[in-house]
């Protein structure tokens, strides 16, 4: 299986420059720096992969539009990128999704189609067939992985002798891209994935050397709602090649990291976005020059208040 390369990621960096923020590294303590992707438009790294996938479409493909199914950060990222590029977008959302997320997606001008949860994926494929539109998957696509990989490129640009990069894993698009960039530029650096204990299927898969599937209901136990997906064959191949280890964190550790990021780094971070910092805080044997990717900040205000 062909993996995304450093040159794919470098090309992506040029293409996404008009849409994504060049986030700085923020010093958290003597060893840890944060890569605050919560500061991106739509509040998550997802804009990098979504915009890259859209900007690479041909004029004909753009005219026929794009489709995504998601109720989370990916939906908003596709909607936002589609607006920037003037591409029609339909986002298929489960009809039990919170109104606030639906409104956030509509805000960018995308058409939102509400369907029963079980019909979400099939309806998206119907739309692709009906409209001749292009499906933009949240992680299972080389252009999406290359876009997310620009996070790793920037980390090494800003901290060339980085020793460890901690990165959340769900579907694995972010860790795949970051791993590809970091390992190409600095092979001696360790790329460490982080998962909630309650959705640690990738840790199990990497130990087993093959994809181990956890039932969706089990993965749904974590409050880190952005980390309930599972890798595809494509992302798992990247993770096997580039990820040195996967650490897991408890729900309490995630909440503690959200609180400390608000108090000490002045960042509003969602639980999924805080797991890499939670992993850092859970151990003391770190070398100097650790970077934690803070992947997103779309937290419900009441839930956030309760964690502060």
Where does this chain bind a second copy (CB under 8 A)? Answer: 21-24, 26-27, 36, 38-39, 41, 43, 262-263, 265-269, 297-298, 301, 304-305, 308
Distance CA 308, CA 288 (A): 28
Residues, the chain, total? Answer: 308
Smallest distance, a second copy to C-beta of residue 127, A: 29
The catalytically annotated residue of 170, 205, 232, 295 is: 295
Active site residue 305: no
Residue 206 Cα distances to 120, 186, 193, 200, 245, angstroms: 29, 22, 11, 10, 8
Which residue, 133 or 294, is less far from a second copy as judged by CB?
Answer: 294
Smallest distance, a second copy to C-beta of residue 125, A: 33
DSSP 3-state of 114: strand
The catalytically annotated residue of 46, 170, 176, 232 is: 46
Smallest distance, a second copy to C-beta of residue 304, A: 7
Task: Tell how strand 66-69 and strand 190-196 pair up.
Answer: unpaired
Smallest distance, a second copy to C-beta of residue 137, A: 25
Active site residue 295: yes
Contacts of 215 (CB under 8 A, 6+ apart): none
Phi, psi of 115 (to 5 degrees): -135, 160
Which residue, 37 or 143, is less far from a second copy as judged by CB?
Answer: 37
Which residue, 20 or 68, is less far from a second copy as judged by CB?
Answer: 20
Which residue, 4 or 292, is less far from a second copy as judged by CB?
Answer: 292
Sheet holding 66-69, edge to edge: 111-115, 89-94, 66-69, 134-135
Q: Which residues are catalytic?
A: 46, 295
């Amino acid at each position: 299986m062909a993996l995304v390369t450093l040159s794919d990621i470098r090309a992506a960096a040029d293409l996404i420059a008009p849409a994504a923020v060049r986030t700085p590294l923020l010093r958290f303590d003597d060893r840890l720096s944060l890569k605050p992707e919560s500061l991106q438009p739509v509040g998550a790294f997802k804009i990098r992969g979504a915009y890259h996938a859209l900007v690479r479409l041909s004029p004909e493909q753009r005219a026929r539009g794009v489709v995504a199914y998601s109720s989370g950060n990916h939906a908003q990222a596709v909607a936002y990128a589609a607006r920037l590029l003037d591409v029609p977008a339909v986002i298929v959302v489960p009809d039990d999704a919170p109104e606030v997320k639906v409104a956030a997606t509509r805000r960018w001008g995308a058409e939102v189609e509400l369907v029963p949860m079980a019909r979400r994926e099939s309806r998206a494929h119907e739309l692709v067939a009906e409209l001749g539109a292009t499906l933009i998957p949240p992680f299972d696509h080389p252009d999406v992985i290359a876009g997310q990989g620009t996070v790793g490129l920037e980390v090494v640009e800003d901290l060339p002798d980085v020793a460890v990069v901690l990165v959340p894993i769900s579907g694995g698009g972010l860790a795949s891209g970051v791993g590809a960039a970091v390992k190409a530029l600095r092979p001696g650096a360790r790329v460490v994935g982080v998962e909630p204990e309650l959705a640690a299927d990738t840790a199990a898969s990497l130990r087993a050397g093959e994809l181990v599937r956890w039932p969706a209901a089990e993965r749904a136990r974590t409050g880190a709602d952005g980390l309930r997906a599972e890798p595809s064959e494509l992302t798992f191949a990247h993770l096997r090649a580039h990820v040195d280890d996967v650490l897991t964190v408890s729900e309490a550790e995630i909440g503690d990291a959200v609180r400390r990021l608000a108090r000490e780094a002045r960042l509003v971070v969602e639980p999924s976005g805080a797991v890499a910092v939670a992993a850092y805080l859970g151990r003391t044997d770190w070398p100097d020059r650790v970077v934690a990717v803070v992947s997103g900040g779309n937290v419900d205000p009441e839930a956030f208040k309760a964690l502060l």
